[in-house]
Amino acid sequence: MKKNNLSYFINLEKFPIHDRKNSKYKKIIQEAKKALVTDGCYVFKSIINTEAIYEMQKEASTIEDQAHYTTNKVNVYFSKDDLKYPKDHPRRFFMERSNGFVSGDKFAKKSLIKELYYSENLKNFISECLDIKIYHYADPLASLTINVNKPGDRFSWHYDTNEFTVTLLVQDSDKGGIFQYVPNIRNKEDECYDEVLKLLKGDKSRIKEIKLNEGDLQLFKGRYALHRATRAEGSKTRNLVVFTYTEKENVIGSSYRSEELYGKTLDVHKEKRVRSDSLKD
Ligand SMILES: O=C(O)CCC(=O)C(=O)O
Ligand SMILES: [Fe+2]
């Protein structure tokens, strides 16, 4: 089978993402839409074919050591400490984060992972699930990344800059690496600091959990949901590919965040940025 064919990547029998008239397609869209409204999250279980996952796993392994690793303390906004706020405020609440990010510029020209990300069929399918027009993230570093969690790594509570995130687990850790999230803890108008503080102080009542499997594609509203992955354990590295889309065209992330996550910035980060809302990163 040709590798540039959608059927190489996707189990089209179960997920006919290219065929809008198909009744299965309509059913999947309906289910995903409902879950996204109520829960902010939906998982297309085993949507990726075994062979494709295996090849993408190999690809991820070959570039995984080019990840920018950081172990430091970050708040959920990935912003600097700000003495303007009282001590007991979410903006001043710093947590351990250790992981690596392979940035978008590290993928080979002929990358399979890149090919799947830039598939118009996939983008249109996701767009329909979300009920909005979406664009590939214009940020060359943050658009397509691999979140690398070596055993012992953990990714603390955070928001994403983009409204929606699509993740694909290409290699799971032996244990741990469980995705946890609190849907809609903030919204476009309100940071909901009180609710955020409650969570940071240990209140687990709003936390939901998902154990992803290799080949699952997850769609979630990362801009409004605080989320994290529990510590990866065992001997295998957890490699999670992150496909990023935005509601506006030409959105670029902040240079502070770029420096923090990918260890560098490009000229585009210094230019006047298009932003999608007025929330604090
Ligand atoms: O590791 C996960 O499952 C979540 C990753 C994530 O939130 C991110 O890369 O922004
Ligand atoms: Fe995230």
Ligand 1 atom at minimal distance to the Cα of residue 240: 1
Please check whether residue 27 lies inside any domain of the structure. yes
In sequence order, the β-bridge partners of residue 176 are: 232
CA distance 103 to 54: 21
Question: If residue 269 lies in a helix (H) or strand (E), which one and from where to where?
Answer: helix 267-270
Residue 274 falls inside a structural domain? no
How many domains does the structure of the chain reveal? 1
CA separation for the pair 199, 36 (Å, rounded):
22
Residue 79, C-beta contacts closer than 8 angstroms, at least 6 positions apart: 91, 256, 280, 281
Lowest model confidence (mean pLDDT) among 47-56, 122-131, 215-224, 270-279: 270-279
**Domain contains 190:** yes
From 227, 230, 233, 237, the mutation candidate for ligand 1 (largest count of ligand atoms within 8 A of CB) is 227
In a domain, 76, yes or no: yes
Which pLDDT score is estimated for 247? 87
Model pLDDT, residue 163: 75
User: Does 68 map to a domain?
Assistant: yes
Collapsing DSSP to helix, strand or coil, 154 comes out as strand
Smallest Cα–Cα separation from 226: which of 207, 253, 245? 207
Q: Is the pLDDT of residue 253 over 70?
A: yes
Q: Which ligand is nearest to the CA of 210?
A: 1
Helix (H, G, I), strand (E, B) or coil at 146: strand
- Model confidence band, residue 141 (pLDDT cutoffs 50, 70, 90): very high
Please state, as a whole number, how many other Cβ atoms lie within 10 Å of the Cβ of residue 23: 9
Mutate to test the pocket of ligand 1, among 103, 153, 165 (most ligand atoms within 8 A of CB): 165
Instruction: Give the model's confidence band at 277: pLDDT under 50 very low, under 70 low, under 90 confident, else very high.
Output: low
Q: Please give the number of the atom of ligand 1 that sits closest to the Cα of 158.
A: 7
Q: Is 42 helix (H, G, I), strand (E, B) or coil?
A: strand
Return mean pLDDT, the chain.
92
In a domain, 273, yes or no: no
Tell me the sheet residues that pair with 75.
none
Question: Which pLDDT band holds residue 272 (cuts at 50, 70, 90)?
Answer: low
Is the pLDDT at 274 greater than 70? The verdict is no
Cα–Cα distance, 180 to 199 (Å, whole number): 12
In a domain, 278, yes or no: no
Single-letter amino acid, residue 167: T
What amino acid occupies position 81?
A: D
Domain assignment present for residue 277? The answer is no
Q: Provide the pLDDT for residue 1.
A: 46
Output 57 or 260, whichever has higher pLDDT. Answer: 57
Q: Which amino acid is residue 169, in one-letter code?
A: L
User: What is the extent of the structural domain holding 170?
Assistant: 6-266
What sign for the dihedral angle of Cα 272, 275, 278, 281? negative
Atom of ligand 1 nearest to the CA of 238: 1
Q: The domain spanning residue 152 has which CATH number?
A: 2.60.120.620
User: pLDDT tens across 21-78, in order?
Assistant: 999 999 999 999 999 998 999 999 999 999 999 999 999 999 999 999 989 899 999 8
